[in-house]
Amino acid sequence: DLEGLRTRLLAEPLAFFRTLKEQLEALDDTRPESLARLAAASFELGSLTHEIGDQRDALAAYRESLGILRKLAGDHPDVAEYRKQLA
């Protein structure tokens, strides 16, 4: 069926973003540009997880991304890109 095919096609990018997020977290790099990459990876993970149908995990990933971006925008109000991503 088409839903099964869609889920299988999304599995590979989902695994990639999950692994990327885990690697970025493991580095424990608190530089703003590293945190921005972590926020982006969390957002993509949320999007893909949502597409597959796991709403709870998608929401958790979105919340993580939002929290990181709020901190970045608050800590670096002069960087428009962080405010843009947050919006």
Confidence (pLDDT) at 73 = 96
Nearest to 61 by CA among 27, 26, 14: 14
- Taking the model in full, what pTM does it have? 0.82
* Residue spans of the chain under pLDDT 70: none
Q: Measuring CA to CA, how many Å separate 64 from each of 1, 21, 45, 46, 59?
A: 33, 11, 10, 9, 9
Confidence (pLDDT) at 66 = 96
